[in-house]
Structure 1
Amino acid sequence: MDIREKCQPHLWLLTGTGEGHVFAESLLKEGWKITVSVVSDRASIPYEKLNLEKILIGALITEEEIREVILNARIHQNGFHCVVDLTHPFAMKITRSISKVCRELGQAFIRYERAIDNISNAFLIEKFSDLRNYDLKNKSILLAVGVRHFQEAFTFARNAGANVYARVLANPESIRKILSSSIQKTNFAILNPSVSSNGKIEKALIRKWNISGVICRQSGGSNEVLWHRICLSMRINLWLLERPTELKNINSVDSFENLIEKLKSINM
């Protein structure tokens, strides 16, 4: 029998950020049993070598799907000690659904929320329509906002008079959406930048397109830090779409240490 069956309860991790794999690996080392949810086959690859109970692949679209996973675990695996939300800071729909279902089922729930860095070299905007308050006429602006926000950001930046360019990550959904958008085909680059690249590809695009400003999301993590560093070093403007705050009252932590502390405080 796996020793974890005796000594530690079971956690369900819903992932969607770079911290997902790090947290899963660290929790396993602490002795917890882990089931992980990822949105695609590609997203599951980093988890395949971990000693997980299960990898659930596919987006959880409805509250009923979330409820089914929790109830099945109660029937077959003695239930989850806690559901841990590690989804993206802008994935508000899934966080809202998970927290609602957990509350209804009396299921312990914790959300990991990246800390917000107070870095001063950026303009903070609440919504993309705020771009009309800035002089973007005839300026080359690079969008790095993710495909779900792309069309809205593109529309407002273009309406403000900007020449709009985009950096798009190399995955099927992103490629489909960028190709179906109204951006010129010569104005975007599809790439999958490595953390170790230190922004070399992004800097090359900025030089190639003579970019004077970048628009991205206040999502925290290495990607936001990278854009702060690039824009500061190249002396160009940076606009950040402010992180959603509507779920501030959710039980949340901002570090692995705080997560462990809260997990251990939950009654068995």
Structure 2
Amino acid sequence: MDIRKKCQPHLWLLTGTGEGHVFAKSLLKEGWKITVSVVSNRASIPYEKLNLEKILIGALISEEEIRSVILNARSHENGFHCVIDLTHPFAMKITGSITKVCKELGQPLIRYERTIENFSNAFLIEKFSDLKNYDLKNKSILLALGVRHLQEALLVARNSGANVYARVLANPESIRKILASSIKKSNFAILNPSVSSDGKIEKALIRKWNIAGVVCRQSGGRNEILWHRICSSMGINLLMLERPTKFKNINSVDSYDKLIKRLKSICLE
């Protein structure tokens, strides 16, 4: 007997990483019904060709919004078998809200956490103010961060005497925030992460600006691996903001196979 027949086959995936689309597609093939949450219309595009129950578009700002989605599903669709948190590793606020609401409602929750890679060429920092502990004076530093952290890192690096440059993603929010920041317009590039394994565009920027070090987040995934490869091959420093560990005790998995096993175990409870 298919174990899904013993439980509600509907999953709610809250996405914010590249794994979201991969997991959704695989779960659909295995017979699960899927509702997906994304933060923007642009983020919904990869999901539009999938046979989903729903695509919920827009950032979930409050606990009440999360609660409303779960209770609405219980009222009209027999509820969610499980909520799967696939949001970004640094999205602490939304993960905290999801965890709290699911606990209050007795709603099963699984968080996907990317494996933390150990790269010998990277320097970990706990907070951006730690940048002042490094010799950045008169050195060109490239910030490859989300725009939420850009201004804070920019000010610390600049106060440490660095010449600061930035790479930001080609989406409306990022463009608005970089234009509103204090960085020179000649010192940033707007692009999406390179799809090539060697990062040709990123390497070109490093050569153009004579970059001595890159600052990024320990967010895992393809983007982090790309920066490791680039910095290692070009002989420049890589400084990474350490991944938050606030939700270390949450019910989490670090692979698709482990997710499936956890879902099946919930069915048997």
TM tier, shorter chain? over 0.9
Identify the residue that residue 223 of structure 1 maps to in structure 2.
223
TM-score, normalised to structure 2, is: 0.96
Identify the residue that residue 73 of structure 2 maps to in structure 1.
73
Identify the residue that residue 104 of structure 1 maps to in structure 2.
104
Is contact 1:110-1:251 (8 Å) kept?
A: yes
Partners in 1 of 2:107 and 2:176 — Cα distance? Answer: 37
Give secondary structure in 2 for the equivalent of 1:136.
Answer: coil
- Partner amino acid, structure 1, of 2:13: L
- How many residue pairs get aligned? The number is 265
Identify the residue that residue 150 of structure 1 maps to in structure 2.
150
Is 1:90–2:90 an aligned residue pair?
yes
Partners in 2 of 1:197 and 1:177 — Cα distance? Answer: 28
Alpha-carbon offset, residue 192 of structure 1: 1.5
Alpha-carbon offset, residue 196 of structure 1: 3.0
Is contact 2:39-2:58 (8 Å) kept?
A: yes
Alpha-carbon offset, residue 200 of structure 1: 0.5
Partners in 2 of 1:138 and 1:147 — Cα distance? Answer: 24
- Structural mapping, 1:118-157, within 5 Å: 118-157=118-157
Is contact 1:114-1:221 (8 Å) kept?
A: yes
Aligned residues: CA RMSD? 1.4
Give secondary structure in 2 for the equivalent of 1:149.
Answer: helix
Identify the residue that residue 58 of structure 1 maps to in structure 2.
58
- Structural mapping, 1:1-268, within 5 Å: 9-196=9-196, 198-267=198-267
- Partner amino acid, structure 1, of 2:235: R
- Partner amino acid, structure 2, of 1:123: F
- Partner amino acid, structure 2, of 1:165: Y
- Partner amino acid, structure 2, of 1:125: I
Q: Tell me the alpha carbon deviations over residues 206-253 of structure 1, each in whole angstroms, 9 at most, x when there is no partner.
A: 000000000000000000000000000000000000000011011000
Partners in 2 of 1:5 and 1:37 — Cα distance? Answer: 25
Partners in 2 of 1:254 and 1:67 — Cα distance? Answer: 26
Give secondary structure in 1 for the equivalent of 2:85.
Answer: strand
- Partner amino acid, structure 2, of 1:114: R
Partners in 1 of 2:87 and 2:181 — Cα distance? Answer: 26
Q: Which 5+ residue runs of structure 2 have no aligned equivalent?
A: none
Q: Which 5+ residue runs of structure 1 have no aligned equivalent?
A: none
Give secondary structure in 1 for the equivalent of 2:211.
Answer: coil
Give secondary structure in 2 for the equivalent of 1:266.
Answer: helix
Partners in 2 of 1:256 and 1:241 — Cα distance? Answer: 26
Partners in 1 of 2:239 and 2:18 — Cα distance? Answer: 22
Q: Tell me the alpha carbon deviations over residues 110-139 of structure 1, each in whole angstroms, 9 at most, x when there is no partner.
A: 000000001110100000000110000000
Partners in 2 of 1:196 and 1:37 — Cα distance? Answer: 28
Is contact 2:112-2:254 (8 Å) kept?
A: yes
Partners in 2 of 1:162 and 1:194 — Cα distance? Answer: 25
Alpha-carbon offset, residue 197 of structure 1: 6.0
Is contact 1:217-1:242 (8 Å) kept?
A: yes
- Partner amino acid, structure 2, of 1:158: R
Alpha-carbon offset, residue 5 of structure 1: 8.8
Is contact 2:169-2:191 (8 Å) kept?
A: yes
Give secondary structure in 1 for the equivalent of 2:262.
Answer: helix
- Partner amino acid, structure 1, of 2:15: T
Alpha-carbon offset, residue 267 of structure 1: 3.6
Partners in 2 of 1:18 and 1:194 — Cα distance? Answer: 14
Alpha-carbon offset, residue 173 of structure 1: 0.3
- Partner amino acid, structure 1, of 2:44: S
Give secondary structure in 1 for the equivalent of 2:149.
Answer: helix
